Amino acid sequence: MDPVVREATLADARSIAEIHVATWKHAYRGIVPATLLASLSVEQRTKDWVTRLQPGTRQTYVLETAGEIRGWASIGPSRDDDHKGDYGELYAIYMAPDHIGRSLGQILYARCERELEKERYPFISVWVLEENAGARRFYEKVGFQLDGGTKVIALAGAKLPELRYAKKLCSS
């Protein structure tokens, strides 16, 4: 069965939360503090996602295969002061750990890009933890390049550098 990408609904909150928690534990092991990963709760993330999936809050898409959600992504206008107006932003994209490396993330990302193009954004950006080599490879594979933006975020007492990637969208 071919993958289907569709807008997320409130009914998807738990599945999104399960992938969110599982992917953090998989992708960020050795990058973010283990205490933070151990504290992640599907129940709490489900509550967060019920709020995030309210109409008008953000655009979130899910990718399904065989009727099961395997990944999700959220997009919207850039939150960066230096990118206001011209940039859409990929806030997050996560695939279930057992579905990473199957090109499904590229299918999900392509839908996000099309949606931002429809909104007439000429560019898209994304922030990624500097140490997250897998995510950086993914973004580079779909055409992103480092744009020089950097920041440091604090997670569970750790200060973690992030890098910003950007890409010109095709329809611009």
pLDDT for residue 83: 83
- Write down the pLDDT at residue 57: 65
Structure confidence at residue 154 (pLDDT): 94
pLDDT of res. 171: 59
Computed over every residue of the chain, the mean pLDDT equals: 92
Give the structural domain span for 139.
4-168
User: Mapped to the 3 state alphabet, what secondary structure does the chain carry?
Assistant: CCCEEEECCHHHHHHHHHHHHHHHHHHCECCECHHHHHHCCHHHHHHHHHHHCCCCCCEEEEEEECCEEEEEEEEEECCCHHHCCCEEEEEEEEECHHHCCCCHHHHHHHHHHHHHHHCCCCEEEEEEECCCHHHHHHHHHCCCEEEEEEEEEEECCEEEEEEEEEEECCCC
Residue 102 is predicted with a pLDDT of: 73
Count of domains observed in the chain: 1
- The CATH number covering residue 64 comes to 3.40.630.30
pTM of the model: 0.93
- Which parts of the chain register pLDDT below 50? 172
